[in-house]
Structure 1
Amino acid sequence: MRNDVLERMKHYVMENIKPNYAAVGRQLNVDPRTVKSAYQKVLIGDDIKCKKRHRKSKLDGYKEIIEEKYTQNCTARAIFDFIKERGFEGKYTIVKDYCRQFKQAQIKKATIRVEHTIGLSAQVDWKERVTMYDRNGHPWTFSIFLYVLPYSKMKYLELTLDQKQDTLFKCLYHAFKYTGGIPNEIWFDNMSTVVDHKMSDFHHHKFNERFQSFSHDANYHPVACRPFRPQTKGCVEALARTMSRLKPYNH
């Protein structure tokens, strides 16, 4: 069925006009029977939509509760148990499917794409407290310092036994030496060695004085990433995920 024929018939149905099949067929260069079939198809389709639109659901009367609880990060199973105590007679799958639809309908917060240029920025993070076992079964716990230049994807990694501020400064110095320079700005996670959490909130970060002094001496501008927004430093986050390649060497 041609789309232009269906669209013309939709217009006739919306205007509540019965078309002249022969005249429309000549205009669109199709058989009048095709026009009639399209008209009847649109009519039947509208009837079906109307029936679905007015069909009652067991979720009626509970949708607002489900949406409210879902925005509070409650699971579909917990919501089902909650509304079941309040008289809901449907099954868990109905609630689960509705939660899935509601999740898909939510508008995700936009994250501005960060464009990288030569020498502009670097990204820093830790792969924290990795525990692996040697061939004798002895556990070793360590962290891995991660430093990435997003434009060139040049990387520097260093294994450390702690994540203290002095260790961070030492690793940054080694990274500058390895990559041959210092970028204009460096993006950091909200680690305690960088951000003074007591004097910061969700929207405004306060760098601790010793770190601020080190950044000033090294002549780069520190940038604290927004919490729960890993996209802003995706390069180093991707590198942290690749550290799972160490797992085959366990034991």
Structure 2
Amino acid sequence: MRKDVYERMRYFVLEKIKPNYSAVARQYDVDPRTVKAAYLKAQSDKTSVVRKRRSRRSKLDGYQDIIEDKYAAGCSARSIYDFIVEKGFNGKYTIVKDYCRRFRKAQTKKATIRVEHTIGLSAQVDWKEQVTMTDRNGVSHTFSIFLYVLPYSKFKFLKLTLDQKQDTLFKCLFEAFKATGGIPKEIWFDNMSTVVDHKLSDFHHHRFNERFLSFSHDAGFHPIACRP
């Protein structure tokens, strides 16, 4: 079974999204039955992990969902602890703090394993923000660096910019396409305001900026937003 197809199906399972087998099959150039088999395996793997996790009793039983939702919303471990104590939790603060740390690491791992190393499939885009350097005369200059990476070849395209406006992003992407000789099927973006409409998005669901979506459709790539 192809790893990239399995990981994509694993992402769908984790996000509780029912995939379109035919659409995914066209994207990865495989048979729809292969996609379905990968999806069923990802479901089975998740179920076995959940059962193993729930086989051991913990003082956090019944509070995990509350902790994860509030931590994802930006609450501190201490505020979450105080909240669940009011709900009847009788464990120690260190248990909650350790659970939040494990949850954060799990979310980070999910965000970093999504892009698969399949030739021609994907690229990653990020800004290295607010870089400040001082010239020989002691004058400071602040700028940003546009970074475009092809995971399969590890090829990197970088461009120094004086702003992070949407038009600048489009120009940098166009130059990256020219430098790499093509456009990948999908591009992963950091949670930048020129790409994601933050007012209409939350931790689990991203809404792309309409102008950016039009650009991606015209260019012919599928945008994917990384979790913050």
**Paired residue for 1:225?**
226
Amino acid of the residue matched to residue 158 of structure 2?
A: L
Per-residue Cα deviation, 1:111-166 (whole angstroms, up to 9, x for no partner) = 44333200000000000011110000011010000000001000000000000000
SS of residue in 1 equivalent to 2:124: strand
Q: How does 1:46-125 map to 2 (within 5 A)?
A: 72-74=76-78, 99=94, 103=98, 107-108=102-103, 109=106, 111-112=109-110, 113-114=113-114, 115-125=116-126
**Paired residue for 1:196?**
197
Amino acid of the residue matched to residue 122 of structure 2?
A: S
Note the C-alpha offset of 1:72. 3.7
Distance 2:99 2:204 in 1: 27
Distance 1:197 1:105 in 2: 24
Note the C-alpha offset of 1:101. 11
Aligned residues: 139
User: TM (normalized to structure 2)?
Assistant: 0.55
Amino acid of the residue matched to residue 140 of structure 1?
A: H
Note the C-alpha offset of 1:73. 2.9
Distance 2:219 2:173 in 1: 10
Distance 2:194 2:124 in 1: 15
Asked if structure 1 preserves the Cα contact closer than 8 Å seen for 2:123 and 2:184, the reply is yes
Per-residue Cα deviation, 1:218-249 (whole angstroms, up to 9, x for no partner) = 0000000112xxxxxxxxxxxxxxxxxxxxxx
Amino acid of the residue matched to residue 193 of structure 2?
A: S
Q: How does 1:1-251 map to 2 (within 5 A)?
A: 72-74=76-78, 99=94, 103=98, 107-108=102-103, 109=106, 111-112=109-110, 113-114=113-114, 115-227=116-228
SS of residue in 1 equivalent to 2:136: coil
Note the C-alpha offset of 1:185. 0.2
Amino acid of the residue matched to residue 125 of structure 1?
A: D
Amino acid of the residue matched to residue 121 of structure 1?
A: S
Distance 1:177 1:158 in 2: 13
Asked if structure 1 preserves the Cα contact closer than 8 Å seen for 2:195 and 2:209, the reply is yes
Change (3 A) 1:208 1:152: same
Asked if structure 1 preserves the Cα contact closer than 8 Å seen for 2:126 and 2:148, the reply is yes
SS of residue in 1 equivalent to 2:145: strand
User: TM (normalized to structure 1)?
Assistant: 0.50
Per-residue Cα deviation, 1:85-108 (whole angstroms, up to 9, x for no partner) = xxxxxxxxxx9xx94996389644
Asked if structure 1 preserves the Cα contact closer than 8 Å seen for 2:77 and 2:100, the reply is no
Asked if structure 1 preserves the Cα contact closer than 8 Å seen for 2:191 and 2:226, the reply is yes
Note the C-alpha offset of 1:74. 4.0
SS of residue in 2 equivalent to 1:143: strand
5+ long unaligned stretches in structure 1? 1-67, 80-94, 228-251
Distance 1:145 1:192 in 2: 14
Distance 2:193 2:180 in 1: 25
Change (3 A) 1:203 1:142: same
Distance 1:167 1:201 in 2: 25
